[in-house]
């Protein structure tokens, strides 16, 4: 990890620009099902146990509510990040209300706006608040989400989550395919809520690069039984 920032942000908040505690913006990314939300909640737990105070945020969680949920059953109430939510103002309002905030856990950060990433940078550099962001890197076309790209550009550290998700062929899963009526979609809206259940009309499946490119979903993944097939 490096604490250097290439930004020339002007901090209007406090301090003389000297390094204080060295807060950092860390981005943890990986394909679906690699345990990002689980790790986000574990991170929150670890920090809270040390007496640090944090906020948990999310956007478009699979629960479709203001919660961070993980596929292995963990859940935590969360603040929904909307377009007009300013993360700096959020933290300042908590402080004004006497609520300490030492860090933010930002799940599903790939769905945030680019402005939110810049607000995270301001929180780190000007307010000494740690920000831990978790999310996908790329969409169903294998193109970076704008917020993920901004995180790659600005984060102090970027880590690929090492819990390995496998393609049906046994290779490491790398890309998030959108499967619409059984076919890998190549165009459409960047964000469409789907499921990983195999019988959904719109679902997502992690594939290796080879099978993402080929659009081959394999026969190992349980497919819906279709009449005549």
Which residues are catalytically annotated?
108
Under the binding rule (CB under 5 A), the answer on residue 175 touching Zn ion is no
133, 155 Cβ separation under 8 angstroms = yes
Compute the least distance from the CB of residue 175 to Zn ion, in Å. 10
Q: Which of 11, 99, 143, 169 binds Zn ion (CB under 5 A)?
A: 169
Alpha helices in the chain (DSSP H): 36-49, 87-96, 114-127, 146-154, 209-214
Count of residues binding Zn ion (CB under 5 A)?
5
The encoded tokens of residue 146 equal 């704008």
Nearer to Zn ion, 99 or 169 (CB): 169
Compute the least distance from the CB of residue 138 to Zn ion, in Å. 16
Nearer to Zn ion, 94 or 171 (CB): 171
Under the binding rule (CB under 5 A), the answer on residue 208 touching Zn ion is yes
**DSSP assignment of 34-93, as one string?**
SSHHHHHHHHHHHHHHTT--EEEEESS-TTSSSEEE-TTS-EEE-EE--TT--HHHHHHH
Span near Zn ion by CB under 5 A; candidates 50-58, 106-114, 115-123, 169-177: 169-177
Q: Which of 167, 174, 175, 184 binds Zn ion (CB under 5 A)?
A: 167
State the DSSP code for 111.
G
Nearer to Zn ion, 54 or 173 (CB): 173
Q: Which of 26, 178, 203, 211 binds Zn ion (CB under 5 A)?
A: 211
What residues between 16 and 35 interact with Zn ion by CB under 5 A? Answer: none
The encoded tokens of residue 10 equal 């002007």
The encoded tokens of residue 8 equal 């020339």
Say if residue 8 is exposed, middle or buried (CB neighbours under 10 Å; 0-12, 13-18, 19+).
exposed
Interacting residue ranges for Zn ion, rule: CB under 5 A: 167, 169, 171, 208, 211
């Amino acid at each position: 990890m490096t604490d250097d920032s290439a930004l020339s942000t002007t901090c209007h908040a406090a301090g003389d620009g000297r390094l204080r505690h060295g807060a950092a913006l860390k981005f943890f990314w990986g394909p679906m099902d690699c345990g990002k939300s689980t790790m986000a909640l574990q991170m929150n737990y670890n920090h809270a146990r040390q007496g640090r105070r944090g906020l948990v945020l999310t956007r478009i969680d699979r629960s479709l509510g203001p919660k961070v949920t993980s596929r292995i059953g963990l859940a935590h109430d969360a603040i929904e990040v909307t377009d007009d939510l300013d993360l700096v103002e959020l933290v300042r309002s908590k402080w004004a209300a006497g609520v300490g905030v030492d860090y933010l856990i930002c799940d599903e950060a790939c769905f945030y706006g680019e402005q939110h990433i810049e607000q995270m940078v301001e929180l780190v550099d000007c307010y000494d608040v740690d920000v831990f962001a978790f999310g996908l890197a790329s969409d169903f076309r294998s193109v970076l989400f704008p917020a993920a790209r901004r995180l790659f550009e600005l984060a102090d550290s970027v880590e690929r989550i090492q819990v390995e998700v496998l393609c049906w062929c046994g290779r490491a899963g790398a890309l998030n395919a959108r499967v619409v009526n059984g076919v890998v979609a190549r165009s459409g809206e960047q964000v469409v809520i789907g499921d990983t259940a195999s019988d959904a009309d719109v679902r997502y499946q992690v594939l290796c690069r080879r099978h993402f490119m080929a659009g081959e979903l394999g026969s190992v993944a349980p497919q819906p039984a279709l009449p005549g097939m």
